[in-house]
Structure 1
């Protein structure tokens, strides 16, 4: 009988072994939870960035179609925490040569730099996207 009771006593885990196992499991769960939270934050940032890019593309598409191609700066709110700014500045201008045109008052073509920015407040400060392109405009001769 003594041999059976000695074998039964060594068959289980001690309280210390169980506590160590729980601590290891808790640490592993904490690391997994932190990774999941960071992943969700990255997904949210990607979603906001895609929305900002879409809004900026909309403002860029309006240049020359509702927004005149001339030196100007505009800004406003798009809602849902997004703000936009649009800037057009001339880079270069050259006369256009036309047959029968007035050489003293030539028609000029101007190259403009167009910048559109969308910004929003994030948990780690202000975030934003900026689109940059160029556009041309033809100015009528000044008489």
Structure 2
């Protein structure tokens, strides 16, 4: 069983700006892919897979070049989260996936790989961010 822990991080000003870009971009991609998936099903009765949604990410990066500044793993994880939301809707009776909002105040993004943790210095290295100070309150 995998287990995760939450830690408080202390980014510098540049890292804060980059995090806000990640928050907004993953929300934007989630909403765009939700719109694509819903429109295709509503108009053509076509269900699009996660693989096809990831191919749409390439198109979105061409249309919106500022998405290239964001970690690709975070954008793919937004696609994965949308696919999981639809799986929960169809298989387990959860509600239809909703759009993400700026007013929600629950901002997050996931970086599934390529991180490094330095316990001695209490720092974590994230791709595109560099080393960020962490408050290590748990082993």
Q: Same fold (TM over 0.5)?
A: no
Richer in strand (by share): 1
Richer in helix (by share): 2
Q: Which has the larger radius of gyration?
A: 1
Which structure has more relative contact order (CA 8 Å, sep 6+)? It is 2
Q: Shorter-chain TM-score: which interval?
A: 0.3 to 0.5
What is the TM-score when the length of structure 1 is the normalising length? 0.34
